[in-house]
Every structure is written in C-alpha cells, then in structure tokens.
C-alpha cells in the first residue's frame, strides 16, 4: 500500500470540488456518500447538518480503508432553515416553489456541517452558520427561476453561486459555506491533521 496520505472528498458535488480547487487543493478521490438525509423527529437544523456531515465522512472513510487507501476524508452537508423549519432539497418544482415563496423578502440561515476524518478514523467536526436575507421575489422572478432548473437538489431550492445570487440583499458569515464547503474551516481542519494544504499553491497562476 502506498504510504502517502490521500485526500478523499466524500461528495460528487462539482461545487465542493471547485471550492477545494480554488484553495489550491486537488482531491485524490471523489467518493459520494449515499445516505438517508431525512431529519429525525424534532431534529434541529444545526444538529441535522452536523450529523449528516459526520455520517457521510465516516461512511466514506470506512470505504477508503476497505479499499486499502490511507486517506483524510472531507465531508459536508448544507441545511437551509427558516427558524426551526428545515427546507428540503427540491427535486420537483412544487417543492422549489414552496422554498422560494417562503424565503422571499425574509431572513433565513444556512448551516453547513463539516467533517474531516483522519486515516486512523478520528472525526473532527465544525458547524458554520451564515445568515442571509432575500429581496422580495415577484411571481415572475419565481416562475423564471423555476424554469431555469438551477434549484434542483439544492438546499432551500436555490444556488447562491448562480442566478439566485441576485436574490440576496444581505449575507452575514461565510459565502463559501452557503455554496457548500466553508473553506477557512476546511483548511484549518486539514492543516490540523497534518495534510499539506499549501503544496498546490506554487502551481497556481499568479
């Protein structure tokens, strides 16, 4: 077995991969974790985000060990909430329409749970909370956004890095966390595990 520690991203999300690349990091493997993301009865948004991130990380870490891969695993899960109400990750327009109408003209919170699992199986987690406010959306705004399909599978029915960025009038906290992976916290956890986070920096264009 190669003794070099690999980096595994426990996600198939192109957004999370792009964020790691932005930080000069190229994962050695992408291993999406398929788990049941249904909230437990009475589960609060922050607890859900942390639980799912940790479950994903530990599942993929086990798969990596079984495959003989010595790896640090990064996993994350993002939850959008209005108060204690957890919004879905819509796959149908009716769900996305519900999310957009609920978010229109009001504040909400985005919680991203982050987990880094060491090669020895130790899990370290962080929870990042970001507060946002949407402008009031017109019926035409919602209809046109639904038609573009950008909302599909996104927490809260929107993607801030796309068209929906024009809906946001205020953000307090981490933008990259809303996209799906809080970079500052990810780099800090990886550095804490001894992963060489700066190795790729000298290959970046000035």
Look up residue 39 and give its two tokens: 């909230």
Query: What pTM did the predictor assign?
Result: 0.93
Tens digit of each residue's pLDDT (9 = 90 or more) over 72-122: 999 999 999 999 999 999 999 999 999 999 999 999 999 999 999 999 999
Strand partners, 80: 110
Task: State the Cα–Cα distance between residues 19 and 176, nearest whole angstrom.
Answer: 8
Q: Give the list of residues 6+ apart from residue 105 with CB closer than 8 angstroms, or none.
A: 134, 135, 136, 137
Look up residue 41 and give its two tokens: 């009865």
Tens digit of each residue's pLDDT (9 = 90 or more) over 8-61: 999 999 999 999 999 999 999 999 998 999 999 999 999 999 999 999 999 999
Task: State the Cα–Cα distance between residues 41 and 38, nearest whole angstrom.
Answer: 9
Task: State the Cα–Cα distance between residues 109 and 114, nearest whole angstrom.
Answer: 16
Q: What percent of the chain has pLDDT over 70?
A: 97
Tens digit of each residue's pLDDT (9 = 90 or more) over 162-177: 999 999 999 999 999 9
What is the SS3 assignment for 121? coil
Active-site annotation, residues: 77
CB atoms within 10 A of CB 72: 22
pLDDT of 2 reads: 47
Under 8 Å between Cβ of 66 and 130: no
Task: State the Cα–Cα distance between residues 196 and 14, nearest whole angstrom.
Answer: 22
Classify domain 6-203 by CATH architecture.
Alpha-Beta Complex (3.90)
């Amino acid at each position: 077995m190669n003794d070099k520690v690999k980096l595994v991203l426990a996600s198939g999300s192109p957004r999370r991969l792009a964020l790691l690349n932005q930080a000069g990091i190229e994962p050695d493997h992408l291993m999406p974790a398929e788990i049941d993301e249904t909230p437990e009865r009475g589960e609060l948004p922050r607890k859900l985000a942390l639980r799912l991130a940790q479950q994903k990380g530990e599942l993929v870490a086990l798969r990596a060990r079984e495959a003989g891969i010595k790896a640090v695993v990064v996993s994350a899960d993002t939850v959008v909430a209005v108060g204690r109400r957890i919004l879905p990750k819509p796959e149908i327009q009716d769900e996305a329409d519900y999310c957009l109408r609920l978010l229109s003209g009001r504040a909400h919170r985005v919680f991203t749970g982050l987990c880094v699992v060491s090669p020895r199986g130790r899990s370290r987690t962080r929870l990042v909370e970001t507060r946002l406010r949407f402008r009031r959306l017109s019926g035409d705004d919602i209809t046109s956004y639904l038609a573009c399909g950008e909302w599909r599978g996104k927490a809260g029915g929107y993607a801030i890095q796309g068209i929906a960025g024009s809906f946001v009038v205020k953000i307090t906290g981490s933008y990259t966390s809303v996209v799906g992976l809080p970079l500052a916290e990810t780099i800090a956890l990886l550095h804490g595990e001894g992963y060489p986070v700066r190795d790729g920096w000298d290959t970046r264009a000035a």
